[in-house]
Amino acid sequence: MKFYKERLKFVIPLSVVVAVTSFFMISNKYSEVPGMDKLLIVLGATILTAVISYFLFPQAGEDRPDDRGPY
């Protein structure tokens, strides 16, 4: 359970920033998009950001070499 908490401390704030930023951008620049479509776009961007950042941020103190990326 410790491993999930280390990754989530990066994933959650990043997802919130993406949600807020994408909401303001789509509201200001694309006012002709219907409200439900705006909500779906923001939710899609937030979920995609959460999934990608969860797998890309490495865990601190990880001893398993098969879980690390090619960096």
pLDDT tens column, 22-66: 999 999 999 899 999 999 999 999 999 999 998 887 666 555 555
Rg over alpha carbons for the chain, rounded to the nearest Å, is 16
Confirm whether pTM is higher than 0.75: no
Which pLDDT band, with edges at 50, 70 and 90, does 70 fall under? low
Residues 33-70 as b/e (b if ≥16 CB within 10 A, e otherwise) read eeeeebeebbeebbeebbeebbeeeeeeeeeeeeeeee
CB 57 within 8 A of CB 7: yes
For residues 38 and 26, what is the distance between their CA atoms, to the nearest angstrom? Answer: 7
